[in-house]
Amino acid sequence: MRDPIVFLNGAFLPEPETRVPILTHALHYGTGIFEGIRAYRDARTGEVRLFRAKDHFDRMRHNVTFLNIELPLTSDELVQVAAELIRRNGLTTDVYVRPLAYKAAQRIGVGLPPEDAFAMIALPMGLYVDTEKGLHCGVSSWRRIQDNAIPCRAKICGAYVNSSLAAQEARDRGFDEAIFLNETGHVAEGSAMNIFLVRDGHLVTPDVSQGILEGITRDTVMTLAADGGIASIAERPVDRTELYVADEVFLCGTAAQIAPVTRIDGRIIGTGRPGAITLRLQAAYDAIVRGAAPARPGWLEPVGVPQWI
């Protein structure tokens, strides 16, 4: 079997040649910023296209400033690296691309040392969570980290300890996913996805000051909802119990896509089945990412013909 090809510090290398020294700062202190980008296969043409890759790299460009990291290339160039990585790995299915910019200093001691590194990997990826049955979620006993502790809008590697604790606790308790409350007790998000609720045909999601990642799928959902005649879209604080009385709840994210939630803390949400608005948004999302409906300019980037080296 061919070794996967990885992009590391400007070179496309076979994965076994990309060892990370054990003293690497990011490994000890979580000083890295990552992204998650999907590319979808168009079932009719077989073409694979990156979805909103430039927006992900633009977000990463903002986020790396939190850790005094500089990205080595422009967002447009990074989109082309992602496409080339997919081609070089000969991937022709749905793909997940993981860029990672991190502190590479090999010294003991906290701080933000100047040595930066940049890696990108591309893997085949199907579902991250079930998007059909309706997820059973539990409100986590772990609180979402605060912006003035570790900003969660920044996709900082170390911040995902918070997500990992909540996700594992949820699984250990028999739930599919966790829902985080923030330090004010309001709903924040899932472990790696944003959350929406539907009330009387209106869409509601926690605003960006509630301790959330400013999700690109969240933005896509709001765009699709506005295009699709949803009565209104509100970004505002959401109480835990407002989730219990919602008609519909769904989670969304690059990996998770749009995933209906049908139970929270054991309580049935709405009818107990994926809701009509959730299903409509899901279908619109699927049609766009797979090229069956027109996307906004710049949202889809064709990867091109796979190659093997």
Give the binding site for ligand PMP (CB under 6 A).
36, 152, 163, 189, 192-194, 213, 215-218, 253-254
Report the C-alpha gap between 61 and 290 in whole angstroms. Answer: 27
- What lies within 8 Å, CB to CB, of 104 at 6+ separation is 24, 25, 26, 115, 116, 117
Q: Which is nearer to ligand PMP, 105 or 189 (CB)?
A: 189
The dihedral sign for the CA sequence 300, 260, 235, 143? negative
Q: Which is nearer to ligand PMP, 145 or 230 (CB)?
A: 145
The CB-of-153 to ligand PMP minimum distance in angstroms stands at 9
Q: Which is nearer to ligand PMP, 220 or 262 (CB)?
A: 220
Report the C-alpha gap between 221 and 53 in whole angstroms. Answer: 16
Report the C-alpha gap between 21 and 67 in whole angstroms. Answer: 20
The CB-of-228 to ligand PMP minimum distance in angstroms stands at 18
Q: Which is nearer to ligand PMP, 40 or 88 (CB)?
A: 40
Alpha helices (H) in 173-303, listed in sequence order:
216-227, 240-244, 276-289
Q: Which secondary-structure segment (H or E) carries 53? A: helix 53-63
Mark whether 133 is an active-site residue.
no
On the CB side of 45, how many CA atoms lie within 13 Å of its CA? 12
- Catalytic residue selected from 54, 103, 133, 155: 155
Q: Which secondary-structure segment (H or E) carries 165? A: helix 160-172
SS3 category, 76: helix
The CB-of-33 to ligand PMP minimum distance in angstroms stands at 12
Q: Which is nearer to ligand PMP, 88 or 142 (CB)?
A: 142
Q: Is 247 left (phi over 0), alpha (psi -120 to 50) or beta?
A: alpha
User: Which residues are marked as active site?
Assistant: 155
